[in-house]
Amino acid sequence: MGFNKCILPSVETMQSEIDRIGLAEFVRIYSKYDSIMGESDRMEFLESKINLYENLKNNNINLIDYFN
């Protein structure tokens, strides 16, 4: 079994990913890694998006309704 690590791309690249694949899929992809490395602004961005997704999910808020 391998160790899956990720070096975070720029904040702009991650935002483009969210725009392209959606927040839920973005969080699912980054949640699979065993280790995530990157500059502090990138880590903060990722953490904020994961927290947003978890809050929406825990409060049963539909992502489509939230962003419209």
pLDDT tens-digit profile of 7-59? 999 999 999 999 999 999 999 999 999 999 999 999 999 999 999 999 888 88
Give the gyration radius of the chain's Cα atoms. Answer: 13
Other Cβ atoms less than 10 A from the Cβ of 50: the count is: 15
Q: What is the pLDDT of residue 56?
A: 85
62 has a pLDDT exceeding 70: no
Comparing C-alpha atoms, which of 11, 68, 33, 62 is closest to residue 24? 62
Token pair for residue 37? 């490395």
Q: What is the pLDDT of residue 58?
A: 83
